[in-house]
Chain A
Amino acid sequence: MSVLSRSMTGPEASAERSVVDQLHDWVVTVDHKRLGVMYVVTGLIFLVVAGLEASVMRLQLAWPGLHIVPPETFNRLFTMHGTTMVFLVGIPIVFGFGNYLVPLMIGARDLAFPRLNAFGFWILLFGGLLLHFSVIGGDGLYGAGSAPSVGWFAYAPLTGRAFTPGNATDYWNLAIFVTGIGTIATSINLLTTILAMRGPGMIFGRLPIFVWVMLTVSAMTLVILPPLSAAQIMLMLDRYLGAHFFDTQAGGSAIMWQHFFWFFGHPEVYVLMLPGFGFVSEIIPVFSRKVIFGYTTIVLATVSIGAVALSTWAHHMFTVGMGGPLNSLFALSTMLISVPTGIKIFNWLGTMYGGKLLFRTPMLFCCAFLFQFLCAGLTGIMLSVAPFDWQLSDSYFVVAHFHFVLFGALVFTIFAAIYYWFPKVTGRMLSERLGRWNFWFLVIGFNVTFITMHVQGLLGMPRRVYTYMPDRGWEIWNLITTLGVPFQIVGVLLFVVNVIVSLRRGEPAGPDPWDAWTLEWATTSPPPSYNFEVVPVTTSRRPLWDLKHPDDPDGPHE
C-alpha cells in the first residue's frame, strides 16, 4: 500500500499564508478540485436562499386568508425559488461534483480546459448574482417591479413588454442566459475530459457509472441548453427591439415559447437527476460491499434516458390543446422513459440484495432516495396519461410530484454525495451522529410536507395561488404541509453545524475511509493539486480493488 500511504503535500498544505493570499489563490485558481468545491458551495448557499423563499411561501399558505406577504411579493418568491433551485442550486452542484470527481475518477490531472472551467464557474456566479441583484436593482426605465415575477418558465405573452414593464423580466432573462453560457462551457469541458483525458487502461467499459452519467449529461446539455438561450435572445429582441416572436397580436406564437422552453426544461430535469443516479450508483455498492448489479444495463439505461429525454418535452403542455396525435406521442414517450428509469431501481435493489449493508449516513440518504424516487416516478407515470394531466395540471399534485423528484430524489442524493465525498475533499469525516439527526429531520420534514401536498392537489388546489377560501377542505392539508417545514429547516441547520464542526474537529479521514473502489480514493485526502503522483493503471471496473487485492483482481469476473 506504499502509494496510498505516501504523504503527498501539495502547495495547499502551507497553512501559514495570510487570509488575503489564500483568498487570492481561490479567485485565480484553475484547479478542477477548487472550482468544484466553489461550485458546490455556491449551490449550497443558493439552496439556503431558495429554501427560505419557499418557507415564506409555506407560511403564507399555512391557513386560508393569511397576508404574511403582499401578493406581488408572493409571485416574486415562487419565481425566484424555482429559478434559483434549477439554475443556481441544481446545475452548480451536479456540475461541481462532476468537476471535482470526473478527473479523479478517470485518472486525469485536471479537466481538458482548466481556464475555460474557471470562466464557466465565474460567469455562472455572475449570472446568479445578477438575478439576485434584481431584488434591489429591478427598478428601471419604467419605475416598476423588482425581482422577476413571471414564474421560472416565464411563459409568453406574460413576459411581453406590455404585461411586465420594468426590468425585472430582463434580469431573469439575462441572468439565466449568462448562467447558460457557463453551463455550456463546463459541459464541453467535461465531455472533452471524459473522451480524451482518461488514464491508462480506463476504457469505456470500465468507466465509473458517475462518469458515464456526466458524459451523458454533458452531451445532453449541449443539445438542450442552446435552445433556451435562443428563446431568450428572441425574448430580448421582442422586449427591446420590438420583434414579434411571441407577440400574438402581430401573428407571433406564445405556444412557441412553451415548446422552446420545455425542449430545454424537461431534459433539464434529467440533466439534474442523472447525476443523482450517478451518486447513488457509486455509493450503494460501497455500502453493500458488492459490485454494482448490472453495470452494462445501468449504463445503457443512462444513455437511453438521455436520448429519450429529448422527445418528452410537450407533456408539460397537454392542456394547451396540441391535439390528439401530439398528446399521444408525448404521453407514450414519457411512459417509455420510465422503463430505463425503473430498470435502474432494480439495479440498485439488486446491488443491495444479499449485500453486507452498512447504514452509514450516505447510505441512509440513498435508501430514502430509493423510496422517494419510486413515489416520484409513479406520480410521473400518472401525469404522463394526458387525460389525468388535464385534471391535475397546474395543481399542487404536480408541485408534489416534481418536488419528490428534485427534493426527495435529487437533494437527498446530493446530501448522500456530500457525506460520502466530504472526507476526500477536506480530509476529515463528517460527524455520523449529527449526520443521522440531519437525515431523520430532513426525511420526516420532507415527507410530511410533500406527501400531503398530493392530497391538496387531488382536492383541486391550484398552484401559484396567493391564498384560498376557507371552505375548500384544503386547510388542514396546507397546515400539515407547512408544519413539515420547520423539520427541514432544523435538518439543514444540523447539516451546516456538522460541516462547520467537522471541518475543525472531524476525525481525520485518511485516503480511503469507506474502503471504496474508484480511483479518487487512491490518492490522499485532500488530493494534491496534481491529483496522482503516479497515475494508477485501470485493469477493471474497480481499479482500487485491484490495487488493494492484487491476488484477487476483478478483471476475470467481468
Chain B
Amino acid sequence: MNAASMVPVPATAVPHAWRGRIGILGLIAAEISLFGVFVVAYLFYIGKSLNGPYPKDVLDVPVLATICLLSSSISVALGARALRRADVGRSGLWLLVTVLLGGFFLGATAREWHRLIYSAGLTIGTNLFGTTYYPLVGLHASHVIVGLVMLSLCCVLAWTKSLRPPHAERVEMVSWYWHFVDAVWVVVFTVVYVIGR
C-alpha cells in the first residue's frame, strides 16, 4: 500500500459548497419539465373551446401584479446579499418586502379567479379554456405560496435573530427558487395573456 496516496479526511467530511446549488437546480429542472407540460397543453387547446367564455372576453392583463412579482426578484436578491454581508436586519427587511410583493401578486390572482368564477361564469369544467387556464395559473400560484412560506419563515427567523450570516447560502437557495417562480410567470404571462388572448 502506497501510504502517500492516502489522504486522511476528517470524520465529519465538509459537504462540498456546490451541493445546495446543484440540488436546487435539479429541482428547478424538474419543475420546468412539470410546467412545460401544462404550457404545452394550454397552447394546444388555444381556440379549441366549444363554447364561451373565451379568453379575449374575460381576461384582463394583470399589469400591476406582474410588476410586483418581477420586482420581488430584485428585493429577494438584495435580501440574500445583505445576509452575505452579515446585515441581518436589512436582510430581514428586504425579505419582508419580497413577501409583501409576492402576497400582493397572490391576492391579485385570487381576485381575478373570484371575478372569473362569479362574474364571468368560467370554471374548470366550463370549456377547454377554463380547463387549461386554472391548472396552469394555479400551478404557478401554488409555487408562489410555497415560496411565500419559505420567505416568511426566513423573515420570522430574521426577526427572532435566529437567521445568521452562515445561513446566507440557504437563503440564497430560497432566492434562486423565487427567481424561478418569477421566470415561470414570464412564460405563463406570455402564453395566457399575450398569445392566448
Contacts and interface: CB of A to CB of B under 8 A. Distances in A.
Interface of A: 1-4, 108-109, 112-113, 184, 187-189, 191-192, 195-197, 200, 218-219, 222-227, 229-231, 233-234, 237, 241-245, 250-253, 256, 260, 530, 532, 534-537, 539, 546-547, 550
Given A188-B26, A534-B7, A251 B19 contact: no
A237 B11 contact: no
A431 B185 CA distance: 59
Given A534-B6, A539-B5, A243 B131 contact: yes
B1 A200 contact: no
B135 A243 contact: yes
A192 B26 contact: yes
B113 to A, nearest CB: 14
Given A243-B131, A250-B128, A550 B2 contact: yes
B118 interface: no
Contacts of B7: 200, 534-535, 537
Contact of A109 (B5, B13, B36, B45): B13
Nearest to A229: B34
A551 B9 CA distance: 25
Interface in B23-51: 23, 26-27, 29-31, 33-34, 36-38, 41, 44-45, 48-50
A211 B75 CA distance: 40
A241 B22 contact: no
Interface string B116-130: 000000001101101
Nearest to A113: B23
Nearest to B125: A242
Contacts, number: 128
Contacts of A191: 22, 26
Contacts of A196: 15-16, 18-19, 22
A79 to B, nearest CB: 23
Contacts of B45: 251-252
Contacts of A184: 30
Interface in B66-82: none
Nearest to B28: A222
Interface residues of B, number: 41
A256 B44 contact: yes
Contact of A253 (B2, B6, B9, B44): B44
Nearest to A530: B11
Contacts of B13: 108-109, 535
A227 B33 CA distance: 6
B166 interface: no
B128 A251 contact: yes
Contacts of B132: 245
Nearest to B135: A237
Q: Secondary structure of the A side of the interface?
A: helix
Nearest to A551: B2
5 smallest CB-CB distances across A and B, nearest first, come from A242-B125, A230-B37, A226-B34, A188-B26, A226-B33
B38 A243 contact: no
B48 to A, nearest CB: 5
Contacts of A536: 5-6
Contact of A244 (B8, B27, B33, B127): B127
A243 to B, nearest CB: 4
Nearest to A546: B5
A245 B38 CA distance: 10
Contacts of A223: 29-30, 33
Contacts of A218: 26
A49 to B, nearest CB: 29
Contacts of A200: 7
Q: Secondary structure of the B side of the interface?
A: helix
Contacts of A251: 45, 48-50, 127-128
Nearest to B48: A251
B36 A227 contact: yes
Contacts of A550: 1-2, 5
B111 to A, nearest CB: 21
Interface in B133-176: 134-135, 139
Given A184-B30, A188-B30, A191-B22, A245 B2 contact: no
11 contacts: A112-B19, A192-B23, A197-B19, A218-B26, A223-B33, A234-B135, A243-B135, A244-B127, A251-B45, A535-B7, A537-B5
A535 B9 contact: yes
A385 to B, nearest CB: 28
Contact of B124 (A243, A256, A535): A243
Contacts of B139: 233
B50 A222 contact: no
A184 B132 CA distance: 25
Nearest to B39: A230
B112 to A, nearest CB: 18
A508 to B, nearest CB: 22
B16 A197 contact: yes
Contacts of B31: 226
B27 to A, nearest CB: 6
B26 A222 contact: yes
A233 B138 CA distance: 12
A550 to B, nearest CB: 4
A234 B19 contact: no
A281 to B, nearest CB: 25
Contacts of A113: 19, 23
B36 A245 contact: no
Given A222-B30, A243-B131, A547-B2, 10 more contacts: A2-B1, A192-B23, A192-B26, A196-B15, A219-B29, A222-B29, A226-B31, A231-B37, A242-B125, A256-B41
Interface string B66-110: 000000000000000000000000000000000000000000000
A81 B55 CA distance: 44
Given A226-B30, A227-B36, A192 B9 contact: no
A453 B98 CA distance: 62
B155 to A, nearest CB: 24
B33 to A, nearest CB: 4
A216 to B, nearest CB: 14
Contacts of B11: 530
Nearest to B31: A226
Given A192-B22, A197-B15, A243-B131, A547 B1 contact: yes
A54 B152 CA distance: 52
Nearest to A244: B131
Nearest to A539: B5
A532 B11 CA distance: 9
A196 B24 CA distance: 13
